[in-house]
A = this chain, B = another copy of it.
Amino acid sequence: MIRTPDTARELRRAYLFAEMSEPHLQTLIKNMHEVRLDAGAALFRHSQPAERFFFLREGLIKLFRLSPEGDEKIIEIMRPGETFAEAVMFMGAKGRYPVNAEAVSESRVYAFDQKPFLSLLSESSDASLGLLASMSRRLHMLVNQIESLTLQNATYRLVAYLLEEIPRDVTTSPEVQLTTPKGVIASRLAIQPETLSRILAKLREANLIEVQGNHITIRDVQALRNLVHLPPQE
């Protein structure tokens, strides 16, 4: 296998290697090997001893379980730049793969033996604390992202609902007063009152709506349409 100077940079896209010291990473690179898989080829099978974990370079790998009837339940789809089967590695020698892994399309992965990785962690408390730090930062980041997606989701549902509540004959007017009370909207859409308030406040700040007591006035129908149709701005 040819290892370009970019191998380390490529690996650092995964949280597992992102903040690892360069000498540690080079040790792992020396011990890894590349596996090429045709579409449909199996990488590992459920309940095999988990001796290796993987970094996906190219392609798409599905992790799945099979029901007793033989139905496939997809657990996760791995994309380039992601590692998988590292959780079971941390469980040590007793670990077995809890899923099957199969290439969806032609794929290339790097395979890492458990042992060098685990001995690196046990020999260097800096390495394991560093990994814990980067993982816990990432956890917080993902939880934040989930919160914001959940809010976006509720916003789309609310705006889609508001747009439909607009009487059909007033679509030329930019402003329209809705007759459905706020509380009814919340319970119809099953949005938490706290979340509804946050969303309404945001829409009000953007001058899209006005809220008087229990009623909502849409101030700019077109802008509200744009909000659902345009992708979210980060």
Cα–Cα, bound, A118→B129 (Å): 9
Interface status of A231 (Cβ within 8 A of chain B): yes
- Decide yes or no whether A26 CB sits under 8 A from chain B: no
Tell me whether A121 is interfacial, beta carbon within 8 Å. Answer: yes
A30 interfacial by beta-carbon distance below 8 Å: no
Measured as residues with beta carbon below 8 angstroms from the partner, the interface class of chain A is 35 or more
| A87 x B137 contact (CB < 8 A) | yes
Decide if A142 is an interface residue (CB 8 Å cutoff). yes
Cα distance A144–B99 in the bound complex, in angstroms:
15
Distance of A82 Cα from B146 Cα, bound (Å): 15
Name the one of B92, B121, B125, B160 contacting A228, with C-beta atoms under 8 angstroms.
Answer: B160
Interface string of A151-172 (1 = CB under 8 A from B): 0110011011101100010010
Nearest Cβ distance between residue A96 and chain B, in whole angstroms?
13
| Cross-interface CB contact of A90 among B129, B163, B189, cutoff 8 Å | B129
A188 at the interface (CB under 8 A from B): yes
A194 CB → nearest B CB, Å: 11
Name the distance in Å between A138's Cβ and chain B's nearest Cβ. 6
The A117-137 residues at the B interface (CB cut-off 8 A) are 118, 121-122, 125, 128-133, 135-137
Question: Chain A residues in contact with chain B, CB under 8 A?
Answer: 15-16, 76-77, 82, 84, 86-88, 90-92, 118, 121-122, 125, 128-133, 135-140, 142-147, 149-150, 152-153, 156-157, 159-161, 163-164, 168, 171, 188-191, 225, 228-232
